[in-house]
Amino acid sequence: MAIPSEMKALLLTGDGYTRTPSGSVLAAMEPYLQPGNIGVPTPGSSQVLIKVSLASINPSDVAFIKGQYGQPRAKGQPAGFEGVGTVVASGGEPYAKSLIGRRIAFATGVTNWGSWAEYAVAEAAGCIPLLDTVRDEDGAALIVNPLTALAMFDIVKEAGEKAFIMTAGASQLCKLIAGLAKEAGYRPIVTVRRDEQIPHLKEIGAAHVLNEKAPDFKAALREVVKTEQPRIFLDAVTGPLASAIFDAMPKRARWIIYGRLDPDTTVIREPGQLIFQHKHIEGFWLVEWMRQFRDKRGPAIMEAQKRFSDGRWSTDVTAVLPLDEAMAKVPAELAKPNGKVFIRP
């Protein structure tokens, strides 16, 4: 297959970080992206070039294009953190070469060549050759949510306590973790923003669901922390909610930040807790987890593919939009609940 010199892509209009953070809703694509043509990139020695079949849209993509995700934007480059596709070229390293012709799930990481484009670049080490039994829709959304769910739940299991806390409980990621937790007899405590979300989360595996907007939230939090003694806090939001939860948690609590959905200031309310109660604040990034725990990477990847192959997991599809229609249609599709929106380049 001949590789063209140019491709269509959705290109970032902003550079670096925003100075005016604006929450997690995407009202329109135009302030952040524009459709355009750009030269097809050449992969570095440890990288591969992928012909993108399907790209997913995650909350982290929305935060990123707005310039509020903790990774700087590179103006004029394609957006999109993950997708599925076929490797069509590689750099010189043997593992990268070995992937040519393979159908893979990929994450573009910090390559600045995102998946909302006809071609994307990814580190070969972060690519996942897919079983034929995994659908494109599942492969395109395999890394950011399912693998992260397995990795973060592994942290919970390693820590040894049955109870743990998650913010943004209604997210796809938290639902996956809640399901894993239920299977293994763990007790997730999750926060949501609407009472309607409570029954479904309890059904899929949350031991406690707290509405952060409820007037008695702080009392309910204190009570559940006292009863369950959770020590792991998987946090997608930061800001005042996360600060309050960490403050309420017992000795040896670990605040593990993996998202930044609330752009508000994040305060360590009582630094003395880090000194005398041995509390920690750290981050989680799947790329780093895979780098540090090479022995866990393979089993987690296989586990995710098995779950998608045998139907235990299945990605709910809200819409698959051609690249040409994405600018106009993505915001309305993203506003629909409970499913994933894809771009087909």
Binding site for its own copies (CB under 8 A): 69-71, 110, 238, 257-260, 265-268, 270-285, 288
Q: How far is the CB of 184 from its own copies (least distance, A)?
A: 25
Q: How far is the CB of 271 from its own copies (least distance, A)?
A: 5
**Helix, coil or strand: residue 48:** strand
Q: How far is the CB of 163 from its own copies (least distance, A)?
A: 22
Q: Vertex 213, ends 210 and 219: CA angle to 5°?
A: 55
Q: Which residues lie below 8 Å from residue 92, measured CB to CB, with a gap of 6+?
A: 45
CB-wise, 5 or 20, nearer to its own copies?
Answer: 20
Alpha-carbon distances, residue 109 vs 29, 100, 183 (angstroms) = 21, 19, 31
Q: How far is the CB of 152 from its own copies (least distance, A)?
A: 12
CB-wise, 78 or 259, nearer to its own copies?
Answer: 259
**Helix, coil or strand: residue 174:** helix
Q: How far is the CB of 254 from its own copies (least distance, A)?
A: 10
CB-wise, 227 or 292, nearer to its own copies?
Answer: 292
Q: How far is the CB of 342 from its own copies (least distance, A)?
A: 25
CB-wise, 5 or 265, nearer to its own copies?
Answer: 265
Q: How far apart are CA 25 and CA 73, in angstroms?
A: 18
Strand partners, 320: 342
CB-wise, 191 or 197, nearer to its own copies?
Answer: 191
Nearest 5°: phi and psi at 269?
Answer: -65, -40
Element housing 189 (H / E): strand 187-192
CB-wise, 99 or 149, nearer to its own copies?
Answer: 149
Q: How far apart are CA 197 and CA 67, in angstroms?
A: 29
